[in-house]
């Protein structure tokens, strides 16, 4: 057990640092090629922080643990809303004035409902995976269009993204950091998946439970770090943008991976407990963050509410695992 715990911890550390280096290298390289900061923030940064979930899901699916991959995707979204945005809102109230973010919220709700519709038959297959990936292509095209539009009509999110961009660096250094990030992601994911599977066996719980908790929280650490730093700097819209982008990517890419690589039945607890919790927290975030009257804030007490709900969800999983 101690060796499995050590492997999982080391894997999480490698994934967190690897994701940071990957985003740094990719962002610097894209900026050097003339890509606008807003477009980088909407795509590379938002999606890059989900790189740990992607690689972990690929490794888990290829090793015959699709339930861990499914738990990783759903649990990460719950952790992003409850833990990441909850903790970030405690540091600074999160302002939602960006037109892009206000349009992304209903898109996230629609994608969440799409995922539920695909899973209702109790099976995640290749057709489901292809539908989700098609959604990812459409989303990416929309984000690119928004980023290009922001060049002519700057969005309120643009200033936060510009301030968060890495310092200019040479293409060689950017590529080097990109390569380092990829290597760490691969090594960290293999270590984490092995440790997580061994922990599940040792604790007598399912791969799904480990994916929903230890793996999901661990792979959400890049989002947590990015959002907390952004909140400290007053770039609160960037903090929300990272989480919304990551959650969209988790549903359209991370959840698609086990369907494409290891089609399998979906455990009933996913449909009866975990997906409804994710959907409910998404709806709650939409209600908290979007006001039809204009800019709105996620206040500190609302952040505490999100953290409390996340803690309650973990208690529910623990109770379900021992009964």
pLDDT, tens only, 167-192: 677 778 878 887 888 888 778 877 87
Q: What is the pLDDT of residues 300-317, one digit of tens each?
A: 898 999 999 999 999 999
What are 94's strand-pairing partners? 298
Name the β-bridge partners of 297: 95
Q: Model confidence at 150, in pLDDT bands (50, 70, 90)?
A: low
- The DSSP code sequence of 258-284 is HHHHS-EEPPHHIIIIIHHHHHHHHHH
CA pair distance 248, 108, nearest whole angstrom: 6
Predicted confidence at residue 292, as pLDDT, reads: 47
In the chain, domain spans: 2-322
Helices (H) and strands (E) in the chain, counts: 18, 4
Q: Classify domain 2-322 at the CATH superfamily level.
A: NCX, central ion-binding region (1.20.1420.30)
Q: Judge whether 239 and 88 are in contact, CB under 8 Å.
A: yes
Strands 296-298 and 264-265: unpaired
> How far is CA 15 from each of CA 22, 78, 171, rounded to the nearest angstrom?
10, 19, 23
Q: Which residues are CB-neighbours of 150 under 8 A, at least 6 positions away?
A: 36, 38, 39, 100, 157, 158
Which is more confidently placed, 70 or 156?
70
Q: Cα(188)–Cα(57) distance, rounded to whole angstroms?
A: 12
pLDDT at 256 over 90: yes
CA distance 173 to 224: 26
Determine the angle formed by the axes of helices 236-249 and 99-119, rounding to 10 degrees: 20
Task: Classify residue 57 by burial, with Cβ atoms within 10 Å: 0-12, 13-18, 19+.
Answer: buried
């Amino acid at each position: 057990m101690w060796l499995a715990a050590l492997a999982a911890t080391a894997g999480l550390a490698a994934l967190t640092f690897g994701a940071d280096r990957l985003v740094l290298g990719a962002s610097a390289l894209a900026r050097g090629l003339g890509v606008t900061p807003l477009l980088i923030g909407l795509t590379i940064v938002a999606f890059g922080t989900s790189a740990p979930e992607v690689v972990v899901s690929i490794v888990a699916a290829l090793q015959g643990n699709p339930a861990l991959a499914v738990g990783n995707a759903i649990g990460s979204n719950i952790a992003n809303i409850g833990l990441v945005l909850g903790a970030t809102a405690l540091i600074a109230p999160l302002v939602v004035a960006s037109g892009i973010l206000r349009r992304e919220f209903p898109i996230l709700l629609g994608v969440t409902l799409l995922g539920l519709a695909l899973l209702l038959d109790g099976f995640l297959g290749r057709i489901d995976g292809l539908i989700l990936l098609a959604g990812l292509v459409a989303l990416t095209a929309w984000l690119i269009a928004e980023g290009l539009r922001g060049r002519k009509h700057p969005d309120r999110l643009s200033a936060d993204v510009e301030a968060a961009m890495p310092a200019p660096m040479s293409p060689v250094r950017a590529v080097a950091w990109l390569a380092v990030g990829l290597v760490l992601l691969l090594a960290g994911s293999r270590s984490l998946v092995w440790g997580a599977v061994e922990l599940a066996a040792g604790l007598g719980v399912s791969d799904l439970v480990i994916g929903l908790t230890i793996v999901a929280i661990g792979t959400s650490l890049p989002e947590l770090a990015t959002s907390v730093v952004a909140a400290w700097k007053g770039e609160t819209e960037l903090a929300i943008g990272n989480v919304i982008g990551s959650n969209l990517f988790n549903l359209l890419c991370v959840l698609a991976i086990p369907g494409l690589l290891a089609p399998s039945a979906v455990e009933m607890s996913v449909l009866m407990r975990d997906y409804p919790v994710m959907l409910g927290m998404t709806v709650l975030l939409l209600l908290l963050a979007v006001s039809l009257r204009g800019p709105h804030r996620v206040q500190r007490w609302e952040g505490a509410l999100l953290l409390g709900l996340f803690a309650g969800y973990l208690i529910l999983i623990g109770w379900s695992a021992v009964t």
